[in-house]
Amino acid sequence: MKNDTFVVNSTARIEAFSDGVFAIAITLLILELKVPVISVFQDKRDLMIALKNLWPSYFAYVFSFLIIGIYWLNHHYIFQLFKRVNHMFGILNLVFLMTISFLPFPTAVFAKYLNDDVHRYSAVTFYTIGLLLPAIAWTTTWIYGSRDYRLIDHKLSPDFVRKLTSLYSWSTVVYVLALILSLVNEWLGLATCVLLTLKFLLPPVRPVYRKG
C-alpha cells in the first residue's frame, strides 16, 4: 500500500508533540476561571463569598484536568505498545489532539451554567458531547493501529489486544449513554461521566505478551 511506504520506526517526535498539546490544553483550563468583580463599598468577606460561589468552576477545572491527565497517562501507556507510525496514524492522532484541545471550551460552558437552573440542561449535554468526542477519536486511533497488528508490537498477545479494544469501545458506549441520560436528567448524565472517570483513575491492565 502507498500509505504504508512511509512507516517511521519511531514514535518519539509524535509523542513529544502530543505531550506539548496535552500540557497546554490542561493548563489553559485555568483561563476559564475569571476574577470576581466586586463593587467597592462592601463587607470584607464579600470577595471570599464570591470566590466560594465559583464552586462550579472549581469542579469543572478539577474534573476536566483529571480527564485530560488520564488521557495523557493512557497515551503514554499505549505508545509503549506501538512500534511504528504511518501518515494515517499521524492524522488520526492529530484529530484526537483536536478533541483534547477543544475540551477547555465545553468546560467553560459547563462551569458558567452548572449552577443555573434553566441552562444547566444544555450545558451538561454540551459538556458530555465534549467528553464523547475524544473517546470516539481515541477508540478509532487504537482500532486503526491495532487491527491486524498494523502498528503495534507483534509480540503482544491477541487476547490482550482484544481486551483493550473492548475496554475503549465500551467506554465510548458509556459516554453515548451518558449523553442520552443527560437529555433525560442532567445530573444522571453527569454522574455517569464521573463514575467512568473514577474507573480510569485505577491502574491500567499490564500488557501481556505471547509466550515463547
Told to check if 211 binds a second copy by CB under 8 A, we report no
Cβ 149 to a second copy, closest distance in Å?
20
Please select the residue that binds a second copy; options are 56, 59, 84, 88, rule is CB under 8 A: 88
Residue 173 or 205: the one with the smaller Cβ distance to a second copy is 205
Told to check if 76 binds a second copy by CB under 8 A, we report yes
Told to check if 199 binds a second copy by CB under 8 A, we report no
User: Where in 24-43 is the site for a second copy (CB under 8 A)?
Assistant: 24-31, 33, 35-36, 38, 40-43
Contacts with a second copy, 99-128, as mask; x by CB under 8 A: --xx-xx--xx--xx--x-xx-xxx-xx--
Told to check if 198 binds a second copy by CB under 8 A, we report no
User: Where in 129-188 is the site for a second copy (CB under 8 A)?
Assistant: none
Cell of 95: 484529530
DSSP string, 34-78: -PPP--SSS-TTHHHHHHHTTHHHHHHHHHHHHHHHHHHHHHHHH
Among 65-73, 143-151, 170-178, 189-197, which window interacts with a second copy (CB under 8 A)? 65-73
Told to check if 3 binds a second copy by CB under 8 A, we report yes
Which residue from 167, 164, 186, 63 is spatially nearest to 114, judged by alpha carbons?
Answer: 186
Residue 133 or 173: the one with the smaller Cβ distance to a second copy is 133
If binding means CB under 8 A, how many residues of this protein chain bind a second copy?
Answer: 72
Report how far residue 141's alpha carbon sits from residue 91's, in angstroms, rounded to the nearest whole number.
9
Question: Which residue reads 492529530 in cell numbers?
Answer: 94
Please select the residue that binds a second copy; options are 11, 60, 61, 67, rule is CB under 8 A: 61
Question: Which residue reads 476536566 in cell numbers?
Answer: 64
Note whether 116 and 52 are within 8 A (CB): no
Residue 43 or 159: the one with the smaller Cβ distance to a second copy is 43
Instruction: Count CA atoms within 13 Å of residue 60 on its CB side.
Output: 29
Please select the residue that binds a second copy; options are 59, 65, 144, 149, rule is CB under 8 A: 65
* 3-class state of residue 16 by DSSP: helix
DSSP string, 93-109: HHHHHHHHHHTHHHHHH
